[in-house]
Chains A and B, each alone.
Chain A
Amino acid sequence: MTNKEWPLWEVFIRSKQGLSHKHVGSLRAADAEMAIENARDVYTRRSEGISIWVTESNNMFASNPNEADSLYEPSDSKIYRHPTFYEVPDGIEHM
């Protein structure tokens, strides 16, 4: 039981203050503390980050790529949600 494989973790790095954490990859570790230590060693050796998030991969839930059409296609037809849909008369500024 004790020689079971360490679980898989997903790693997210904030590259600098003001930016959000971004997924950079995954690794294996026995617990969260080790996952953060390993993430530091593997993913921040060249000043790539100042903050690390890790979560066990089996806690991640994802949308189904087969449903991509039905999920995202409806937004393609709603071009009135974009400012470029509207005509602005010549001479109008600050809009």
Chain B
Amino acid sequence: MKEQNISILEQRFQEKIDNDIKIEPRDWMPDNYRQTLIRQISQHAHSEIVGMLPEGNWITRAPNLRRKAVLLAKVQDEAGHGLYLYSATETLGADREELIDDLHSGVAKYSSIFNYPTVTWADMGVIGWLVDGAAIMNQVPLCRCSYGPYARAMVRVCKEESFHQRQGFEIMTNLMKGTSEQKAMAQDAFNRFWWPSLMMFGPSDADSKHTEQSVKWKIKRHTNDELRQMFVDATIPQAELIGLTIPDKDLKWNEERGHYDFGEINWDEFWQVVKGNGPCNKDRVDTRRRAKEEGMWVIEAANAYAEKIKVRKAS
């Protein structure tokens, strides 16, 4: 009887999804749907927070005040995006502190792109342009995700993120108009970030264990390979326009498909970085952990102050 009830509930749930009716926090949902969302949204939240670190690296060394103000605003946006996303996980009954502990203990994943170092100023350009560009490609379809709070968070994130990509492309454009050293710096950053940016879309469809169910639940609207192709098609003309060379000898326009063909991604590198062996994995997690430990006095002081005010008001 109980199993029968669940199958009726699941059927009604799927009907809502099929009819594009959003699922809201207090609605019945299959446990797997809830767990899938908590996993995906928390990884997304962690990516925003860890994503502040490679750029934070350059705030004090931005080449001028305008660039510095822009970079500060971008990093502040990312903190906000992390907050929207952690809030969305809380509507699913997740415990934010537990999720953050999972990040700090290395159990939780975040976007592998942030495990690469940012060694020159051009990396700020290429991250805004490619990394935020790839993120937008992923996030725009998520605005129509079946889970209401996630979809609403994504609408805000996408609105805010469009400036991130433009400011990055502006940095690249200016460098490519500069001295031969500046051009070389831009090309070098592009060479280092091109392939990791393509990896941001995740494993190929054949190896993606979550895609099929997520598409059925309308958590995902496109597969990893579809999004990756969209990104390549959109980005190549931009790179060519400012005179960058794409570091892929197999890249060529395929007239028949109406898409670019591109070379094979180094999946061994992808899995190595996912598993924690990228150039900066340890450094990123250590920095996060230290930030929490060293910032704990702020949490404690604010609690003590709130308590004192409460007592004073009561007396």
Interface of chain B residues 285 through 315 with chain A (CB within 8 A)? 296, 299-300, 302-307, 309-310
Q: Contact: B83 with A27, CB < 8 Å?
A: yes
Q: Contact: A4 with B87, CB < 8 Å?
A: no
Q: In the complex, A47 Cα to B83 Cα: how many Å?
A: 19
Q: Contact: A66 with B90, CB < 8 Å?
A: no
Q: In the complex, A46 Cα to B97 Cα: how many Å?
A: 29
Give 1 or 0 for each of A41-70: 1 = CB within 8 Å of chain B CB: 110011000000000000000101110000
Partner of A25, one of B73, B76, B96, B153: B153
Partner of A46, one of B160, B299, B304, B309: B160
Give 1 or 0 for each of B57-91: 1 = CB within 8 Å of chain A CB: 00000000000000001001100100110010010
**Minimal Cβ-Cβ distance residue in B for A38:** B83
Q: Contact: A5 with B300, CB < 8 Å?
A: no
Q: Known interface pairs A27-B83, A31-B309, A46-B160. Does A8 touch B90 (Cβ–Cβ under 8 Å)?
A: yes
Chain B nearest CB from A92 CB (Å) reads 39
* B residues near A5, Cβ cutoff 8 Å: 96-97
Interface of chain B residues 14 through 70 with chain A (CB within 8 A)? 24, 26-28
* A residues near B305, Cβ cutoff 8 Å: 30-31
User: Is A34 positioned at the interface, with any CB of B under 8 Å from its CB?
Assistant: yes
Give 1 or 0 for each of A5-36: 1 = CB within 8 Å of chain B CB: 11010000000000000000111111100100
User: Is A2 positioned at the interface, with any CB of B under 8 Å from its CB?
Assistant: yes
**Minimal Cβ-Cβ distance residue in B for A8:** B90
Partner of A6, one of B26, B27, B299, B304: B299
Partner of B26, one of A26, A28, A45, A62: A62
Interface of chain B residues 157 through 179 with chain A (CB within 8 A)? 159-160
User: Is A3 positioned at the interface, with any CB of B under 8 Å from its CB?
Assistant: yes
Q: Known interface pairs A8-B90, A25-B87, A46-B160. Does A34 touch B80 (Cβ–Cβ under 8 Å)?
A: no
Q: Known interface pairs A65-B26, A66-B28. Does A2 touch B153 (Cβ–Cβ under 8 Å)?
A: no
Chain B nearest CB from A26 CB (Å) reads 5
Q: Contact: A30 with B26, CB < 8 Å?
A: no
**Which has the most chain B C-beta neighbours within 10 Å: A1, A25, A29, A66?**
A25
Interface residues of B (CB under 8 A from A): 24, 26-28, 73, 76-77, 80, 83-84, 87, 90, 96-97, 152-153, 156, 159-160, 296, 299-300, 302-307, 309-310
8 sampled A-B residue pairs with Cβ under 8 A: A2-B303, A3-B299, A25-B87, A30-B303, A41-B76, A41-B80, A45-B73, A65-B27
